[in-house]
Structure 1
Amino acid sequence: MTITQQGTGSTGTGRYADVNGINLYYETHGAGRPMILLHGGLMSGESFGPILPSLTDHHQVVLVDLQGHGRTADIDRPLDVALMADDIAALIDHLGLDRPDVVGFSLGGGVALQVAARHPGKVRRLVMASAGIRRDATYAEILDQQGQVGAAAAEFMKETPMYELYQRVAPRPEDFPRLLDKIGVAMAKDFDFTEQVRGLQVPTLVMAADADMCPPSHFVEVFELLDGGQRDGGWMGEGRPKGGHALAILPGLTHYDIAYSPLFAVAALAFLDREDRA
């Protein structure tokens, strides 16, 4: 099917792929080196509409609706970033993509990290935005709010853009309370992806807003796990992290608007399109 992203005029092709036990919806926009773009929780690929024209200028962008989100119906398994990462790896194979870049925000950032950690041979570069790697790095008041997410909150969310989107595009709109339940369970689980980050084998950009769900210091800590912040970078960049990793703290933004900001596209493209230093 032909899809026009709302408010952008960007036209792409929307299809379903039966991969890894799920009927995964994806759209393809633009042409060039492939990039897989992964959205945040309770969102869908179409949420990247404001920045999509910048990303598709020189890239083929594959927008994916993750399990239970957007046009991808839920299946009988938990919402788990590792399982969703295997969906993306299977989609890469299904589409015959040659080591695409994987860019993810929030939930999608966690999935993107797991794609690179679990399937390093399938990824060229990784951008993980606004994705804390430990649950305890999230501000306490946000954890309290996340603890209230569940089916009982569905009635209170009927005026939100997330509910409107789900009702408009989901294969089973009545599943919204179920999605809230599963997200609530997922957010309540403790996690620590320190070792996955430390073991990354692909160049990685750690990105966050300067007023995100975790303090900037947490994202600096993630960068330090990747050999960042250990020494002066040097006149020729010889002191930069050995794996080609980078850090971007975007000014004047929050967790709730970073993925729509032109700065998101600028930072991601600057990292993805730079020439590797010898």
Structure 2
Amino acid sequence: MPRRKVNDIEIFYEIHGDGNPVVLIMGLRRNTEWWYCQIPTLSKHFKVLAFDNRGAGRTEKPKLDYSIRLFADDTAGLIESLGMKKAHILGLSMGGYIAQELAINYPHIVKSLILACTGPGGERAVLMSPERLKKFTANEGLSPEQIL
């Protein structure tokens, strides 16, 4: 089980395939195994880095306050320690928040950003105006089939 010392913890990671790097960032309390359906296909074309975030799976779980910025710092440290110059970053759920923070604070690492099942979150979030929100949630007069 490969691990790499990053910041103050040992991070568990796996690398599969060759080519341009793709970094998979999982969401809250999920581990590398949640990517096992995607890794075989992605690794045919890319060098895939999957890892367990701080506090999840086989990565250390220090008792301290975690933050999206801390997760992003860990991710950047892991990418750099493995000698990856620029990578496609795929963030799922909370991993999408981490990916966005990574792109903001470490743009030299990010070749592209792929966000799945996530949102902007945090203090930098751009919220929808009340008028626009009303348009998105206006279901009056629509059948359930039309809404779905």
TM-score, normalised with respect to structure 1: 0.44
Q: Do residues 80 (structure 1) and 62 (structure 2) align?
A: no
Gaps of 5+ in 1: 1-13, 135-190, 196-216, 218-278
CA distance in 1, matches of 2:55, 2:25: 13
Question: Alpha-carbon deviation of 1:127?
Answer: 0.9
State the secondary structure of the residue aligned to 2:108: helix
Q: Do residues 59 (structure 1) and 46 (structure 2) align?
A: yes
- What is the letter of the counterpart of residue 101 of structure 1? H
Q: Do residues 49 (structure 1) and 36 (structure 2) align?
A: yes
State the secondary structure of the residue aligned to 1:121: coil
2:26 maps to 39
More helix, by proportion: 1
1:108 maps to 95
- What is the letter of the counterpart of residue 108 of structure 1? G
Question: Alpha-carbon deviation of 1:73?
Answer: 1.7
Per-residue CA deviations over 1:244-269 (Å, capped at 9, x if unaligned) read: xxxxxxxxxxxxxxxxxxxxxxxxxx
Gaps of 5+ in 2: 127-135, 137-148
Question: Alpha-carbon deviation of 1:193?
Answer: 2.5
Question: Alpha-carbon deviation of 1:68?
Answer: 0.8
Question: Alpha-carbon deviation of 1:86?
Answer: 0.3
1:194 maps to 125
CA distance in 2, matches of 1:22, 1:128: 26
TM-score, normalised with respect to structure 2: 0.80
State the secondary structure of the residue aligned to 1:194: coil
2:79 maps to 92
CA distance in 2, matches of 1:108, 1:65: 11
CA distance in 1, matches of 2:46, 2:4: 21
Question: Alpha-carbon deviation of 1:27?
Answer: 0.4
| Structure 1 runs of 4+ with >3 Å offset | none
More relative contact order, 1 or 2 (CA 8 Å, 6+ apart): 2
- What is the letter of the counterpart of residue 51 of structure 2? V
CA distance in 2, matches of 1:20, 1:39: 19
Question: Alpha-carbon deviation of 1:192?
Answer: 3.0
Q: How many residues align?
A: 127
Question: Alpha-carbon deviation of 1:23?
Answer: 0.8
CA distance in 2, matches of 1:89, 1:126: 14
Question: Alpha-carbon deviation of 1:51?
Answer: 1.8
CA distance in 1, matches of 2:124, 2:118: 11
